[in-house]
Structure 1
Amino acid sequence: MKLFSGAVLLIVTFTALFTCNRNSEKTISEKKGGSINIAIQGNADNLFPFNIREYYTQEINSNLLSQSLTIVNPDGDIQPQLAKSWQAGHNQITYVLKGKVKWSNGQHFTAKDVSTTFYFINQNQDKISTLFNTDLISEIEIVDSLTIRFKFKEDVSEPHSVTRFPILNNQQIKNAENWDNLKKSYYEDFVGCGPFLLKKYYKNEIQLIRNEKYDINYPLLDEINVKFFSSTDTLNSWLESASIDLMPDLPHNLLKSVKKLTDFEVISSVEPGYTFLGWNLKNEETVALAFRKGLSHALDRQTMVDGIMSGYATVFDSPAYPEFWAYHQTDPLEFDLEKSRKYLNEAGWFTNKTTRRLEKDGSQLKLKILTNNENDLRVKVAINIKAYWEAIGAEVTVVSVPWGDFLKALKSKEYDAALISWVASDKFDPTELYHSSGIKSDNNFMGYANDSVDFFIENALSSKHKSSREKNWLKFQKKIIQDMPVTVLFGKRILNVVSKNLKNVTINSDGFLYNAKEYWLDDRK
């Protein structure tokens, strides 16, 4: 599982584009039909669009089910989704909506749907992800049935981003009346206007069917089944029987065996994010910067990457990632046991010369690493970290639990360091993870609060001038590296498995479902 990034569907200046595009001369009608299976590690913890915290379920929802007014393409350009056009002015933006969009219940999509969704979000800010923060919007005005205007409290640099949120059916929201009822209705009586509709939802499987009211030609597939797994044995059996068609983020230890299978090919893409240790800053030991530095210097991250991931990752320290346009390039914090010892001594921890244990006041240092057990790679990394810290004299416990229990443990601060990933969607916005406002929503689970960091993030997101945004993003990264609320371990190269039978699959910075409505099967069984 991965936490996805802070503000709504965000821009990543990201050039890597890997396309498995094997079109033939078949007509649209000849390409239509068929069902595919997608395998994803973990479980469908939550699909309700307003508080999704897991990256792949967010991708399923935003690309296939619950659409927004606009989207951002892989080149960072704003493109229409439910909006037909728009005009930005002083402290406002006006959208003209597409006129022939219908909900699956037969109702026409109108400005009322946008307005009702906005007010629902606004009234449930205590439950809504800070991804959909409406603070900058002062007023929303329905000009006519297909025109809606947003007015802002101040001039904003990216009005499309501020007004980008999943839109639900006006009548469904009104019938539900409250958060719990709407969430229940979303699962049990789904109403949508995206390319696919939610037919069945289970913890281990999601079934999507074509929305016949979406477009006369698209989507091409009849059905998409998303199957979740927690064991690589399960994944291996699916691969060997060729019962899946697509899998993002293949565990690196399976790469050699998959390459031997003739039914698949592996496409590599760069992850716009990173795997990191988030420190529990409410803990009396990990709150000390010297303590966190000491433990971080004791980790040989490059050896971990080479050994566990066959080199398919990059080691860095920044809370951005190397492909980010305003990335702060710096030498990674080195593996240095002398520096580790120095900082730990500064924090009051010394090596007992007889027992070789790391002790303070006669007690051995005990550490708990928390991670989720659905992710084999993360568990292996945790075990490696445990070995490094035990080598310097600590007693270390790795607690790997299901994703739901993992989130509960984060909230109750039952850990010293939590191992997790952060991934941006279509715009870099680390608000939820590093801004003090993210503490309330538990996304800033470290409990990190710094006024300067808040200021840098806010300025970077609101400034109209690229030079000012870059300046603030660089300051943000330098301050996080300095304060070390997290220790960034590495950014992965993602290995995606694609059936040779599945055509027109494009995998890029927007993920693996960006053009799913255009997927088609060459040889349907």
Structure 2
Amino acid sequence: MKYKRFLPVLMMLVLLALVSCEEPAVPKITEITIENEEPVEGGTINISSVEPGSLNPLLNKSKSYNEIAKLIFQSLVEYDESLKITPVLAQDWSFVDGSNKCVIKLKDDVFWSDGESFTADDVKFSLDTIKASKDSIYKDNLEHIYSYKIKDDSTIEITFDQPFATAIDMLSFPIIPQHIYKKNPDAVPVGTGMFKVSQYNKLKSMELVFNDKWKGESKPYIEKINITFINDVEAFPIAFQSKELDLLNTTSYDWEKYSEMKDVSAYKYTTMYYDFIGLNYNNAIFQDKAVRKAMIQGINRKSIVDKYLLGNAVVTDVPINPVSWLRDPELEKYGYSRSEAQYFLKAAGFTDSNNDGILERKVEGATQELRFTLITNNENEFRRKAAEEIKNNLEDIGFRVDLKITGFDDVKAAIEGGKFDAVLTGYNLSNTQDLSFAFHSTQIKSGKNFMSYSNPDIDMLLHQAYTALDDSKRKEAYINLQKSFREEVPCISLFFREAALVVRDKIQGEIKPDAVNPFRSISRWFIPESKW
């Protein structure tokens, strides 16, 4: 199996603690060189999706179908591989005099796959559909949209409740045709994307072919995509191993199990899954940033990644994705250093005066020990092992760490009730990259900032990042925010997980999946005629 790394790869953030991760054996990796042939049109790709609850991309909740829907439908704007917003069906947009009113000009000469023209009516209908739905996954996108109206066939005006940096990001939902979905909310898909539906067998399969009405830069080489609907996502790997499928979009490090398959390549990308140790700032020892700096340098994060994730994660000091255009490439990194960690603790006045192996200091006449309880959930094998490693690392520099490995519901209750010292957990971070929910002091009362972290300087920087209305100011705000995060260490950042698109070698070309769209480069994929 060959490994090919590609890192070019609304707010409801999900705790990862519930996900179960079994530790695989370290695989034997065989490097194979394949002579790429010249691109040729033709061939079929076989993929799968969980049976969608709805074929309407605005009402469906299946992640695998949403990925496939990107081949059929387009949005006004989308995130590129660096998480930057780029236009798709929108030609351009402007905010009226810097206000919260945005005028969006739509691209001309765009058609639905059935030949009907794309107009502002379709955009308004899509907004109406989300608004009317009780549980659309895009419901949060409308949270800050105050009103919207059609100006003409190619112009729509959207008024937000306030000016903010990610206002346009809110328009990254699929646009559906009014003339189709007004009659039938669950109609067979008709879109403006690269592919169109040529056959549909209810609850069984769907066939896609090139959409000749598509206005993209180049026609894809792939002639046909066969999609099989499978009831259980757990059956995807079995179907892939039995060669019923040609590709598999994995999570975490699961693709290692395919290492013995000689006709397969894995294309890695960085996900938005961010692991960290959340600290309860009602515990006095965490209020000293010297202690936090000692922790981030005293934990061998790279070793944890190598041992338990087989190297498939990117160590980070800040909760900004390494591939993001907002990431500061010059940010100095914390490495693993036992001596540096001990230096910070000694400078903060901690010593082991009673030779019990636990450092302590006097604070206003009272003894303060470097002792706390780290909790995580017992359904997650990786987290259990990582917690043990963290405990050993920190006890090696003078902490005493008591582990509490318990059920997910107990961990959730402890977090919500503020009855914890530290928790090993994670977020599936939003593509908007706004971190206010987790670190702004105004979010303490709501429980989103469950650490009760409060820092006026961080509050100011988060506000600047949220309200910056042009790219240069936003980039500057995020660079300043990352520098402050590195200095203050509000939580113990660990890493961003990696995943992979595992692909049979019959599929060649420029395969560059990313966290937003595993099929982003599909127009440059091809199948040699000998593999048809």
SS where residue 381 of structure 1 aligns?
Answer: helix
1:311–1:515 CA distance, 2 compared to 1 (3 A): closer
User: Deviation digits for residues 417-455 of structure 1, max 9, x if unmatched?
Assistant: 132255564x65445554567779876554545554344
Residue 25 of structure 2: aligned partner:
none
Amino acid at match of 1:501: K
1:112–1:466 CA distance, 2 compared to 1 (3 A): closer
Shift of 1:261: 1.8
Shift of 1:96: 2.3
The residue correspondences of 1:7-86 to structure 2 (distance < 5 A) are: 26-27=40-41, 30-31=42-43, 33=44, 35-37=46-48, 60=67, 63-64=70-71, 67-74=74-81, 80-83=87-90, 85-86=91-92
Amino acid at match of 1:144: D
Shift of 1:127: 8.9
Residue 104 of structure 2: aligned partner:
94
Amino acid at match of 2:148: I
Aligned: 1:489 with 2:500: no
* CA contact 2:105–2:155 (8 Å) conserved in 1: yes
1:107 and 1:475 map into 2 onto residues whose CA distance is 48
User: Deviation digits for residues 204-235 of structure 1, max 9, x if unmatched?
Assistant: xx9773467955687831315578767xxx88
Aligned: 1:300 with 2:307: no
Amino acid at match of 1:161: D
Aligned: 1:221 with 2:225: yes
Residue 276 of structure 1: aligned partner:
275
Shift of 1:60: 1.7
Shift of 1:279: 1.2
* CA contact 1:21–1:505 (8 Å) conserved in 2: no
Residue 206 of structure 2: aligned partner:
209
Amino acid at match of 2:151: V
What is the TM-score when the length of structure 2 is the normalising length?
A: 0.65
* CA contact 2:103–2:158 (8 Å) conserved in 1: yes
1:156–1:362 CA distance, 2 compared to 1 (3 A): closer
1:144–1:286 CA distance, 2 compared to 1 (3 A): farther
SS where residue 303 of structure 1 aligns?
Answer: helix
* CA contact 1:245–1:498 (8 Å) conserved in 2: yes
Shift of 1:264: 0.3
Aligned: 1:419 with 2:421: no
User: Deviation digits for residues 223-265 of structure 1, max 9, x if unmatched?
Assistant: 15578767xxx8876665445432345655864x644321202
1:511–1:144 CA distance, 2 compared to 1 (3 A): closer
Residue 246 of structure 1: aligned partner:
247
2:188 and 2:457 map into 1 onto residues whose CA distance is 43
2:438 and 2:65 map into 1 onto residues whose CA distance is 17
SS where residue 331 of structure 2 aligns?
Answer: coil
* CA contact 1:352–1:358 (8 Å) conserved in 2: no
Aligned residues: 477
SS where residue 477 of structure 1 aligns?
Answer: helix
Shift of 1:89: 5.9
Residue 316 of structure 1: aligned partner:
316
Residue 23 of structure 2: aligned partner:
none
* CA contact 2:440–2:458 (8 Å) conserved in 1: yes
Paired residue for 2:474, among 469, 494, 504?
469
1:46 and 1:482 map into 2 onto residues whose CA distance is 47
1:102 and 1:21 map into 2 onto residues whose CA distance is 38
What is the TM-score when the length of structure 1 is the normalising length?
A: 0.65
Residue 381 of structure 1: aligned partner:
386
* CA contact 2:49–2:64 (8 Å) conserved in 1: no
1:152–1:266 CA distance, 2 compared to 1 (3 A): closer
Amino acid at match of 2:494: L
- Identity of matched residues, %: 18
SS where residue 221 of structure 1 aligns?
Answer: strand
SS where residue 150 of structure 2 aligns?
Answer: strand
Amino acid at match of 2:46: S
Residue 120 of structure 2: aligned partner:
111
1:407–1:466 CA distance, 2 compared to 1 (3 A): same
Residue 216 of structure 2: aligned partner:
none
Paired residue for 2:519, among 490, 513, 520?
513
1:307–1:22 CA distance, 2 compared to 1 (3 A): same
* CA contact 1:295–1:340 (8 Å) conserved in 2: no
Residue 180 of structure 1: aligned partner:
none
Instruction: Structure 2: give runs of 5+ residues left out of the alignment.
Output: 1-8, 14-33, 214-218, 362-366
1:343 and 1:60 map into 2 onto residues whose CA distance is 48
Instruction: Structure 1: give runs of 5+ residues left out of the alignment.
Output: 9-19, 177-184
1:74 and 1:457 map into 2 onto residues whose CA distance is 23
1:58 and 1:343 map into 2 onto residues whose CA distance is 50
1:487–1:364 CA distance, 2 compared to 1 (3 A): closer
2:452 and 2:135 map into 1 onto residues whose CA distance is 18
1:238 and 1:196 map into 2 onto residues whose CA distance is 24
Paired residue for 1:500, among 484, 500, 505?
505
Amino acid at match of 1:267: Y
1:436 and 1:209 map into 2 onto residues whose CA distance is 48
2:519 and 2:378 map into 1 onto residues whose CA distance is 27
Residue 483 of structure 2: aligned partner:
478
Greater mean alpha carbon deviation, residues 408-417 or residues 314-323: 408-417
Amino acid at match of 2:491: V
SS where residue 501 of structure 1 aligns?
Answer: coil
1:513–1:475 CA distance, 2 compared to 1 (3 A): same
